[in-house]
Chain A
Amino acid sequence: MNVKGQKVSSDWHLYRRGFGPPDKRFLNPDGTATSRAFKLRDKDQGKLSVDVKEMTTAANAIIDPTKFVLFEVPVVAVEKIGLSTVHDPLSVVNDGIENDAHASILGLDDDDEIKPGLLARASRRIAV
């Protein structure tokens, strides 16, 4: 069990889910992520939602491979651009879903267009 707010190990990796049904062209032509996949939205309240790879499986993280795609980012790459990653487990009681592998990338700014682009460029597509 991870304590909420505890730093995710720099040696670990993160999964970020993006919307990418095969009939839509929301990814780059080479299948990599665009910066939009790592951009905060209002409901995120400054926390970019990810799963810790070492605590889950790609199949669990992607939820529905017919609609979503999965990108992997090393935690060290997140830290290298000045962001941090903390464990942020979800519970049925508080969040309506149980996900002990859930984590949050902190430090993104709504007006910042650079870091989402850097995260996208540091990520790689995971085949599920």
Chain B
Amino acid sequence: MQALIDSYSPTIESSVDTPFEKFTTEYRLDQLDAPFRSITYRPSAEIKNSINARIFGIVDDIATLNDNWDEDGAIAPGSEVIQLAQAMVHSMTAVGQEIYNAAPGAKGEIMLDLRAGNKSLEVIIYRNKMKFVKFSPSEPPTQGSFTPNLLLTDLLAWLNEK
């Protein structure tokens, strides 16, 4: 995984022929919101058969949920949350970053859990915000919101740093 980080290039782009052409790992995630609201994301077969094929499948399953999906009043994730989650999975796949798991939350959010060694990076996509949480045995957990100054590459570098 370190090799993947070492070889990161801000010019890496998706090969998918969609508006995601410009979705690079250097994109600031807060900029993703608007463009992703109005498109339908259909990952290619190549992408769907990739290291994150299972995660694409989980997100597809999540997209079928209705309100009260947990029989306790949980809200189903909206299309914008689904689109952003798919975009994140796509982006991670493009740079070779395996995602450990994806899960829906009761407030309509989707959590993506990225793991490397004993570290875990959770990316939580809400309808109106995106947050991250860093868990590591060697430092206190921290959380934050995606801001214009935050690059996903920085978070992945932290995750894969040994």
Contact = CB atoms under 8 A, between A and B. Distances in A.
B103 interface: yes
Nearest to B55: A25
Contacts of B80: none
B86 to A, nearest CB: 16
B74 interface: yes
A35 B106 CA distance: 11
Interface string A108-121: 00001110011001
A80 interface: no
Interface of A is mostly: loop
A29 B72 contact: no
Interface residues of B, number: 28
Contacts, number: 60
A39 B73 contact: no
B113 interface: yes
Nearest to B132: A113
Contacts of A25: 57-58, 61
Contacts of A29: 100-101
Interface of A: 19, 24-29, 34-36, 39, 41-43, 67, 112-114, 117-118, 121
Interface of B: 57-58, 61, 69-74, 100-101, 103-107, 109, 111, 113, 120, 122, 124, 131, 133, 135, 141-143
